[in-house]
């Protein structure tokens, strides 16, 4: 009978190959996403499976908090989430109540600090290019206007 360590290793290899097989089946080889573009809904679904349960996402957030967005392990995940290129410029989210972020790093840090691990990045719309956004905090008003949308 195999040892527990051997069985766990075998299970780990099976999971990796299964995940790679599933990922390859879901890839449309005729579609080449633009580097720096957000993931599609299906891509996000697969991407976030890697971070379930929440403690896995919390570990990534802890790495980001302690070592920054340029830490190699954090950077590798950010590159994957952005089709191989971290975008410069405005980052928009699926929640229209949140103003655009000035960088992907600030967006990722927001997700962590607000425990919204599965908040998706979306393409910025034309209406967001010149729309005025207001972020209200107790006793203060901050306005971000005339932002340039990353494409």
Please report, in tens digits, the pLDDT of each residue of the chain (151 residues total): 445 344 434 433 333 434 444 444 454 445 678 999 999 999 999 999 999 999 999 999 999 999 999 999 999 999 999 999 999 999 999 998 999 999 999 999 999 999 999 999 999 986 554 344 444 334 433 333 333 333 3
- Using alpha carbons, list the distances in angstroms from residue 47 to 4, 18, 42, 102, 144: 29, 15, 9, 23, 31
How large is the angle between the packed helices 54-67 and 72-81, nearest 10 degrees?
120
pTM to 2 decimals?
Answer: 0.66
Where along the chain do its domains lie?
33-125
Cis peptide before 87, with omega less than 30 degrees from 0?
no
Can you tell me which residue has the tokens 């971290």?
86
Q: Is the dihedral of CA 130, 131, 135, 140 positive or negative?
A: positive
Assess contact for 110 and 101: CB atoms under 8 A.
yes
Structure-block tokens of residue 49:
């499976």
């Amino acid at each position: 009978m195999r040892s527990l360590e051997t069985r766990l290793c075998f299970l780990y290899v099976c999971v990796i190959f299964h995940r790679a097989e599933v990922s390859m089946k879901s890839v449309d080889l005729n579609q080449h996403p633009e580097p720096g573009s957000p993931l599609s809904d299906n891509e996000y679904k697969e991407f976030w499976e890697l971070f379930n349960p929440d403690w896995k996402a919390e570990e990534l957030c802890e790495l980001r908090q302690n070592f920054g967005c340029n830490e190699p392990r954090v950077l590798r995940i950010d590159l994957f989430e952005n089709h191989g290129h971290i975008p410069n410029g405005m980052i928009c989210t699926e929640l229209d109540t949140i103003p655009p972020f000035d960088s992907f790093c600030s967006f990722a840090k927001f997700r962590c600090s607000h425990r919204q691990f599965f908040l998706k990045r979306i393409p910025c719309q034309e209406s967001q290019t010149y729309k005025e956004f207001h972020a209200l905090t107790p006793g203060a008003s901050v306005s971000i206007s005339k932002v340039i949308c990353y494409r």
